[in-house]
Amino acid sequence: MSAPLKGIILPRKMKRADQIVEAVKRWIVAQDIQPGDRLPNEKALMEQFECSKGTVREALKSLEVQGLIQLKTGPNGGATLVQVPYPLASQLLRNYLHFQHPSGPDIYRLRKLVEPELAAMVTALLTEADLQTLEALTEACARPPVNLQERLEQRIAELDFHSLLAERCPDPLLAFVGRFLNDLIKDLVIYKKVQLPEQVEFSQDNLFYHRALIAAYRERDVAKVRQLMAEHMSSAERFNIELQGQLDKGLLSPS
């Protein structure tokens, strides 16, 4: 799309390149611009924003780093809008939260609100292939782990179960939050706590609920799915509160 960015008011008290970046973002939202559309060329941007080529290129580079555009050189080059990839969006937000030090209970406080609705929403959307993947992830956690690596793989499989549900969710906010919380658990819970003594009861509880959820999904029972996931998250939250309490008191140490 080569038309000017119409109807956009530039933010004040911001350097010119950053103003252009914010104007493009507002334009995307206001005009319902889609991935694949093109930004105006450098000359048009220079004229519209009354700035130098260097300023425009600085703005375009910033948009590229943020994952909003793809830049190509040559006669047919220019800036094309792209959808920000989920891994980039997740990583940037997780980088911020790394310094906020959220705990397992912090994460589960939100998970128990999000997961039941997300799980219920995908009940009619899961394919047979999806259900078979959920079964494989679940049964991979059925045997006692023989070493630390297998324990880690089982914890990841448990979370991948939930990530698959989030990926099938048609609500973009629920889908993002669901996947993001799973990423947080991988970053801030599993890799910190996997070397602590195995919570056998917690693992068995996860196995029970995942099997029960699969059965409810096969029956297309939305109410049962929502109930089971709510119970699952409440149980997981309880285990995490207990574990965090032990960690805080120094009662557990790496094995």
The predicted structure's pLDDT at residue 254: 43
pTM of the model: 0.76
Tokens of 40: 């105006």
Non-local (6+) Cβ contacts of 56 within 8 A are 17, 20, 42, 45, 46, 49
Q: Where in the chain is the domain with CATH 1.10.10.10?
A: 16-81
Cα angle: 20, vertex 26, 28; to 5 degrees:
105
**86-248 fold:** Four Helix Bundle (Hemerythrin (Met), subunit A) (1.20.120)
Q: What pLDDT score does 255 carry?
A: 40
Dist CA 33 CA 145 (whole Å):
49
Each residue's pLDDT, cut to its tens digit, for the chain (255 residues) gives 445 555 555 556 678 899 899 988 888 888 878 888 888 889 999 998 889 999 999 999 999 998 899 998 877 778 999 988 898 889 889 888 878 888 888 899 999 999 999 999 999 999 999 999 999 999 999 999 998 889 889 999 999 999 999 999 999 999 999 999 999 988 876 666 666 666 789 899 999 999 999 999 999 999 999 999 999 999 999 988 887 776 677 654 444
Considering the domain delimited by 16-81, tell me its CATH architecture: Orthogonal Bundle (1.10)
What DSSP letter does each residue of 57-86 carry, written as one string? HHHHHHHHHTTSEEEE-STT-EEEE-PPPH
In the chain, CATH 1.20.120.530 sits at 86-248
Token digits of residue 226: 């929502």
